[in-house]
Amino acid sequence: MASTAGTVAVMGAGAWGTALAKVLAEVLEGAPEENRAPDAEIRLWARRPDVAEQINATHYNPTYLPGTLLPPRIRATTDAADALDGVTTVLLGVPAQTLRGNLEQWAPLITDGATLVSLAKGIELDTLMRMSQVIVSVTGVDPSQVAVISGPNLASEIADCQPAATVVACSDSGRAVALQRMLNTGYFRPYTNSDVIGTEIGGACKNVIALACGMAVGVGLGENTVAAIITRGLAEIMRLGIALGAKGATLAGLAGVGDLVATCSSPHSRNRSMGEQLGRGATIQSALEGKDGHVVEGVTSCESVLALASSYDVEMPLTDAVHRVCHKGLSVDQAMALLLGRSTKPE
């Protein structure tokens, strides 16, 4: 018997949260009426009242996902209690470094037994925790209730209904399959995986490597260089992931190689485009100011990823170079020279 499609909360109305809210609403709308709960909707929590008001009034989110018409089953709200009331599936779409603070406020409002889904890609700065660990730490839920969605998923392309695939990782296969069904459309294909660690490490590290690729392009280097950075970046990600207990197959799949290639190659990638700006001589501050409030996770993640790698005695020279540019005043030219000057060794 088919499960009943019900209300889902998406906490965060940025580009990715809004794009997934659209996917969820389309699947909900397409469910047979007898398998859809009465008044089922997708509740989209927005931090900014103007964003929520515009979504409800016009069915557009021009601030974060311009040009995309949103289904009427999406209802935006700035009231977390309203968004979370009675909901058993919660997608957490706020930036990685704000997840803990937001969850501390939301935890008392979350329904017992709910599935909590991390959409953020990062490592928490102070604790070096992955996002699923932060969720467990704050809410006290069993780790089996926590899932992660990650993959080569540029929000603007998914909003345009371009074919894409993603990974839904959860140690509870039943919850993973339920999420898979909620997100499965003709253009968006979710694959399930039990390797939460690998899925998260791939997502957190790829933003840092994308910054490095952008820097290389910004200083005028070509496709050979970018390919080398992507390949050696993957080697860094694999070393760290396996040290933490990830499976190599996960990092060779959508959540690893797939996400890495998309983020390092696309002009729509905020991390890649910021790296290009830095390579052309922009300062960190001026480049961030040009993002209009959009978070560039790699700028912070390079610091926490490097610290995590150091704690496991894992060498990550590309990540170290990006960290020095972003936080230690090293120029992009100096960073490239350092990388090219490393001693040669077997691959």
Q: Which positions are catalytic?
A: 206
138 annotated binding-site participant: no
Cα distance between residue 51 and residue 55, in whole Å: 6
Please give the structure tokens belonging to residue 283.
Answer: 């300062």
Task: Answer whether 89's CB lies under 8 Å from 179's CB.
Answer: yes
CA distances from 35 to 2, 29, 40, 177, 187 (A): 7, 11, 11, 17, 22
Count the alpha carbons within 13 Å of 27 in the hemisphere toward its beta carbon.
25
295 annotated binding-site participant: yes
Tokens 């996770």 correspond to: 297
341 annotated binding-site participant: no
Exposure string (b/e) for 330-339, b if CB count within 10 Å is 16 or more? bebeebbeeb
259 annotated binding-site participant: yes
Task: Answer whether 123's CB lies under 8 Å from 152's CB.
Answer: no
12 annotated binding-site participant: yes
17 annotated binding-site participant: yes
275 annotated binding-site participant: no
48 annotated binding-site participant: yes
Cα distance between residue 36 and residue 44, in whole Å: 19
14 annotated binding-site participant: yes
200 annotated binding-site participant: no
Q: What are phi and psi of 62, to 5 degrees?
A: -65, -20
60 annotated binding-site participant: no
Cα distance between residue 242 and residue 201, in whole Å: 10
How many other CB atoms sit within 10 Å of the CB of residue 345? Answer: 5
15 annotated binding-site participant: yes
345 annotated binding-site participant: no
Binding residues for NAD(+): 12-17, 155, 270
Binding residues for substrate: 121, 270-271
Binding residues for NADPH: 16, 47-48, 64, 121, 155, 270, 295, 297
Binding residues for sn-glycerol 3-phosphate: 121, 151, 206, 259, 269-271
Binding residues: 12-17, 47-48, 64, 121, 151, 155, 206, 259, 269-271, 295, 297
